[in-house]
């Protein structure tokens, strides 16, 4: 049976028409800083906007350590046209025992509204069901994050409800919308 260690120590490269989902590399720090320093990009994620390139370098170092340990860590979302890293996407939680995962992502504001995040998320969902053998993939977003909710709906996820006071970040509790797609939902599309 596949384990998270197997997955994250050898994170595969996944392709879409416009994107390459690949392991984060040390040299990605500047691209990551270009979008993580933006307060609006950081508004509905669990992390604060990066204040310096050093913050992004430390973030990249953390990701690389997680890969080595076999812990969940993100794929870089690389724009094939420019070669720039424009976001990250990952299964922030994976349970092979229960055949479930939780999807998480962030995208540079410069690329919002272009259908790129649904493209990346759909590819990761496909990988989760077809390669990892998952039964259920869920995603959560801040209640006010309409853009993220639209991404989840576009990739075939169903709104399941609101989890109240579900996440404590940025000095407060947040309510989260929960969306999910099951294997039968995916296969029936």
CATH number at residue 105: 3.40.630.30
pLDDT > 70: percent of the chain? 99
Tally of structural domains, the chain = 1
Q: How far does Cα 151 stand from its chain's mean position? A: 11
| Residue 45 pLDDT level (bands cut at 50, 70, 90) | confident
Question: Is 54 domain-assigned?
Answer: yes
Question: Is 30 domain-assigned?
Answer: yes
pLDDT of residue 163: 97
Predicted TM-score (pTM) of this structure? 0.94
Contacts of 71 (CB under 8 A, 6+ apart): 4, 8
Number of other residues whose CB lies within 10 A of the CB of residue 47: 12
d(Cα 147, Cα 67) in Å, to the nearest integer? Answer: 29
Residues, the chain: 189
Question: Is 146 domain-assigned?
Answer: no
Does residue 4 have a pLDDT over 90? no
Structural domain for 47, as ranges? 4-137
Question: Is 57 domain-assigned?
Answer: yes
Closest CA relative to residue 22, chosen from 72, 62, 77, 79: 77
Question: Is 163 domain-assigned?
Answer: no
- Pinpoint the alpha helices (H) of 10-113: 29-36, 39-42, 53-69
pLDDT of residue 1: 66
Q: Are 76 and 22 in contact (CB under 8 A)?
A: yes
Average pLDDT over residues 61-89: 96
Question: Is 48 domain-assigned?
Answer: yes
Question: Is 129 domain-assigned?
Answer: yes
Please give the mean pLDDT across all residues of the chain: 95
- H/E stretch holding 6: helix 4-9
Model pLDDT for residues 94-130, shown as the tens digit of each residue? 999 999 999 999 999 999 999 999 999 999 999 999 9
Question: Is 60 domain-assigned?
Answer: yes
- The dihedral through the CA atoms of 86, 153, 48, 62 has a sign that is negative
Average pLDDT over residues 71-92: 97
pLDDT of residue 44: 85
Contacts of 7 (CB under 8 A, 6+ apart): 70, 94, 132
pLDDT of residue 170: 86
d(Cα 123, Cα 144) in Å, to the nearest integer? Answer: 25
pLDDT > 90: percent of the chain? 87
């Amino acid at each position: 049976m596949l384990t998270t260690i197997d997955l994250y120590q050898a994170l595969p490269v996944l392709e879409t028409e416009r994107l390459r989902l690949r392991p984060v590399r040390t040299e990605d720090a500047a691209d990551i800083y270009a979008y993580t320093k933006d307060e609006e990009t950081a508004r509905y994620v669990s992390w604060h906007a990066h204040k310096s390139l050093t913050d992004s370098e430390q973030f990249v170092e953390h990701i690389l350590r997680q890969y080595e340990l076999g812990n969940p860590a993100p794929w870089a979302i690389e724009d094939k046209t420019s070669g720039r890293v424009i976001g990250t996407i990952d299964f922030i939680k994976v349970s092979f025992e229960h055949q479930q995962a939780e999807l998480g992502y962030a995208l540079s504001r410069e690329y919002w509204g272009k259908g790129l995040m649904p493209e990346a998320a759909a590819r990761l969902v496909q990988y989760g069901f077809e390669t990892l053998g998952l039964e259920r993939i869920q995603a959560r977003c801040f209640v006010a994050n309409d853009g993220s909710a639209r991404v989840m709906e576009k990739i075939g996820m169903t709104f399941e409800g609101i989890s109240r006071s579900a996440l404590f970040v940025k000095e407060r509790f947040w309510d989260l919308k929960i969306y999910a797609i099951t294997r039968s939902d995916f296969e029936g599309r």
